[in-house]
Structure formats: structure tokens, C-alpha cells
Chains A and B, each alone.
Chain A
Amino acid sequence: MATPLRREDVAKVAKLARLSLSDEELDMFTEQLGQILEHANDIAALQLDDVVATAHPFGLINVMREDVLEPCLSRDDVLAMAPDSEDGRFAVPRIMGEAP
């Protein structure tokens, strides 16, 4: 059985998920997510050591195709819908600081 969800747990997952929450939102989500996880304790408590996990219901794995070039999307079409682009690439704000 997992421990109850705390406010700091929610703050941590919000940070991991790149979301900022107000104090009121933190309170609300802590309560709501806590209720959902409490409901999920019915399966967290099951003894399932011998059961294999399912990723695909019919067991399809590693579908491959021949490694041959096929037509793909036009770069210009894709970049046209991006918030910002430059010289045929996605443009983003500065990642690293100024050189010292």
C-alpha cells in the first residue's frame, strides 16, 4: 500500500511535467489526485508477483520494415506550423548563458 499523496509530491510532479501551479491549484490537485490514487489502492494492494505485465493486448512486438528511403513530410510544411523557425530549423530561446 502506497503512502498518501502529499502537497510536496504534487509540487514535484508538476515540476517534472513542466507545469507551474498556484497555491490554490496545488491544494486542489493534491486533494483530487489523492482521491484517485486512494481508489487505485485496490490494485496497488493485490498480490500479483507471478503475473506478467501486458504492453500490447495481442502481443505484437517490434514491427519492422525494410530500411529503404520513402517520401516524408516536407520540412517547410512542418516548420510553417511551428511557433518560430530559422534557417530550416525550429527556433527556441537561448539555452546557454552568455560567454563570460
Chain B
Amino acid sequence: MKSAIDIANDVRTGATTAVAEAERSLAAIRSRNEELNVFVHVDDEGALETAQRVDAQIARGEDPGALAGVPLALKDNLCHVGKLTTAGSRILEGWRSPYSATVVNLVLKAGAVPMGKTNMDEFAMGSSTETSYYGPTRNPLDPARVPGGSSGGSAAAVAADMTPIALGSDTGGSIRQPAALCGLVGVKPTYGLVSRFGLIAFASSLDQIGPFAKNVTDAALLLEVIAGHDPRDSTSLPEGAPSLVAGVDAGVAGKRIGLVRELLEGADDDVVAAVGRAREVLTEAGATVVDLSIPECRLGLSAYYLIAPAEASSNLARFDGVRYGLRVDADDVAAMNEATRTLGFGAEVKRRIMLGTYALSAGYYDAYYGQALKVRTQMINAFHRAYDQVDLLLGATAPSVAFKFGEKTSNPLAMYLSDVFTIPTNLAGDAAISVPFGRGEGDLPIGVQLLGPGRSEAQLFAAARVLEVEQTS
């Protein structure tokens, strides 16, 4: 499939039209969506209308923008005015957003054509897309396996060549892990780089929206379009959007990179070997790779599974049968709230709401939630110390290649371990990228993770590009 950059160039020069690209994307969606369950809502009509507007701009001699006519998939927790937005949950079945997320407005302003909404773990809680009320998404590379999650639908859309780029959200690895499992580039940007306005909140202090793409340059392009300060998100960083595409070929010569022992611990042999080869490639490209230990990473999983559910229990209190979506009638308000939430939420969401409620409750707050926030401080300090010594860090994205359906559904803790290497970045508020590098069991792709301090995205893309070039040469 053509890259997003090539499509945008061809639309701008008249070599193709936005409508032709949208139709091609719709045909690809039609051919495999039933099998893979990638899109929960396909917006044929809206996509063609948007594409026609882009073509009309071209006809008038205007430049539609950096993503001119590029088909794009949106994770179903991103609000798009008038469109179905369900966050993978029954409780929002049939709900249409009355406004658009800032990122949706930005991609539209850049000429992109949203094709619809992609499947996800319910409220982004999961690592396999199996918790979606709308059924699991299948991995396009091996339909017997999961695509990862929670942004599994967005990853599958790109992996199945339905769209060249997609947006997801990453709270503990929900972009990077599915990117790794589907053989894509996926980025968790610095906290606050991308506006969260219009993203259905899971854990507000950890959530970030970011790009999926088949290649590093497309991912950089999409992040460049969606990054920047937004007065409607009070956690948005005050600085403007960085320049990313221009520097993707900057290389890693003279850079210092730390290979983090804890970001390989417990990973399968094929994954460890891939990271080892990545180390060699980065060294050959002129970087100095040193071994590092960040023991605080071992505490990340526990801290995350107290902080994220605590924030979720508060964020999901708004789903009470009054303002949005589902209502189960009952004699009084409290009974209606309870009946609605009991029917509307799935087991994983209930598990996390209860875990969070417990961690915040009197008598346990200090031991759990309060303690987790302090561990977060220690994690931030540990990364600061590491970045005093090196420019970037290196590790695995996920402990294994894509796993099979049902493998981890009966044991929540086993599923949570899928995110053990990605969670520390969310707690630290830093940036990280997963780039496909090598193949493992079943000839399935492996993702290598590069991590950097806040606002280091340009360096991360340059380092990821070194690995990508080696892969394709």
C-alpha cells in the first residue's frame, strides 16, 4: 500500500484524487472487515463527503494540507461530531458525539479523510481487544491471534492496508503494544504534547493520543499534525508543535543509548534476540549503546494498576444512565444508575472500577493509591537519572509476539503483564516509540521500543528510522 506521504503528494499534484483513495480504502475495509472486525462503524458517506471537499479544494487551487486525501482510522474513544462513538462499550451503544476531539479537527484541517471508528478494548482497558462489547478484532497477520490492545482495531486497520495511518490512545502501552504485535510503528507521545480534548478519558494523568503507521515517516507526519498546545486541555504543554518529519533521517551518530535490563526481563528469547540485533545496528550507525539498570521499572506494573483504575473509577462515574447512551429503567435514580452500570459495563471495566474504588477508599488510600503516586515520583526521578547519562533508552515493547485468543482472558494479571515494558513511560510522562524489528515465533513481527525524555520525539523517530532502514535494506 502507498504511504500516507505519497498519497498526500499524489492528491496535491493531481496524480490521484481523495475520492479515489477513499473508495480504495472502503473496498479494502469491505473485503476483510467481516473477518477481522476492525471497524465498529464504517462511515462510507462521511468519508466520501470529506474526500469530495478535499478534491474541491484542489480544484480551486487550494492546498488541503499535509494529509491531503489520506484515509485515516480513528479509535472509537475519539469524539467526531455526529458520528457513533462507543469506546467499545455497551453503555455507549448508539451514542453520537455532539462535538469533535481536537485531534479530529486537526486531521480534518490537514486534509485527512476519517473512514470510521475502530474497535478497542472496552474503555481502553485491555491488551488484546478481547474486552470489546463488539467482539474481538483479529490480527490481520494471523487471524487466530490477537492484534494487541487496547487500540487493536486501529493497528489492524493499518496492518490490513485499510488505511495507511490511524490514531489510537496509549495509557499503559495501548498504541505501542498493538503496533508491535501487528508489525507497525506506534508512538506514545510526551504527556501533554497532544490534546486529550474529546478523548473519552480512561486514566487522565496517563492517557495520550498517538499515531500508527506502516513506516516511521508517516508516523512522524501524523504526530506533527496532531501535536501542539490546546487551551481546551488544561494538561496540554504550553510549547508549540515540534518539527518531526524534517529530521527523520538525522541518524544516531554520536548518540548515547542505554539498553535497559528491566525492559527485557521475562521476554521470550526471540524478542531478546531482536533487541540485541537492534543494539548492533544502532552501534554500527554510530551510537554508543551501554547497559543500564532501572530497577524502578519493576514497580511500574503495581503502581499503574492502582493509579489507572483509581482514575478510571472516577472518570467512569459519569456513565450513570442520565446523560449518555444506555439507561435501564428502575423505580428510583439510584436503582437506575446501578442497573444501567451493571448491564452497560463488561467484566474488565467492572474489575478496574472496583479496584480503583478500593484503592481510593478510606483505610486503603495511603497504602495503595498514595503509595503508587510516590512510586510514580521515584519512576520519574529514575528516568531523569538515566537521561543524565544517555540520550535514549532501548528495550522490548512486548514480552512476546501476538498471542492466541483466550490465552490470557481468564487470568487478568497475565494479561496485565503484556504491558510491563510500556507502562513505565506512561508513569514518567515521557515519549516512546515501537518499531518493527525482526520476526519471531510463527514468523510474526517483533517490536523494539525506544524511549526518550519529554519532547524527545524527533530523536526517537531518527533512531527508529535507523532500525527501519536496516530492516528494509
Contacts and interface: CB of A to CB of B under 8 A. Distances in A.
A13 B368 contact: no
Interface stretch (B102-110, B271-279, B354-362): B354-362
Given A46-B371, A53-B373, A58 B322 contact: no
A82 B330 CA distance: 16
B125 interface: no
A28 to B, nearest CB: 8
Contacts of A32: 351, 412-413
B31 interface: no
A88 interface: no
Q: Which of B231, B342, B430 is the most central at the interface, judged by chain A CB atoms within 10 Å of its CB?
A: B342
Interface in A25-60: 25, 29, 32-33, 35-37, 39-40, 42-44, 46, 48, 51-58, 60
Interface in B298-327: 298-299, 301-303, 305-306, 313, 320-327
Contacts of A78: 98, 323
Given A19-B350, A53-B373, A93-B329, A83 B413 contact: no
A60 B335 CA distance: 39
Contact of A39 (B99, B301, B325, B330): B301
A60 B235 contact: yes
A40 B237 contact: no
A44 B367 contact: yes
A31 B208 CA distance: 31
B235 A53 contact: no
B144 interface: no
Given A2-B368, A19-B350, A35-B412, A93 B331 contact: yes
Main secondary structure of the interface of A (DSSP, over half): loop
B210 interface: no
A78 B367 CA distance: 40
A48 B380 CA distance: 15
27 contacts: A13-B354, A17-B354, A19-B338, A19-B354, A35-B413, A39-B301, A39-B413, A42-B302, A43-B299, A43-B306, A46-B375, A48-B375, A52-B377, A53-B374, A53-B377, A56-B205, A57-B427, A57-B428, A57-B430, A58-B192, A58-B454, A63-B234, A83-B324, A83-B326, A90-B322, A90-B323, A93-B331
Interface of A: 2, 5, 9-10, 13-14, 16-21, 25, 29, 32-33, 35-37, 39-40, 42-44, 46, 48, 51-58, 60, 63, 65, 73-74, 77-78, 80-84, 90, 92-95
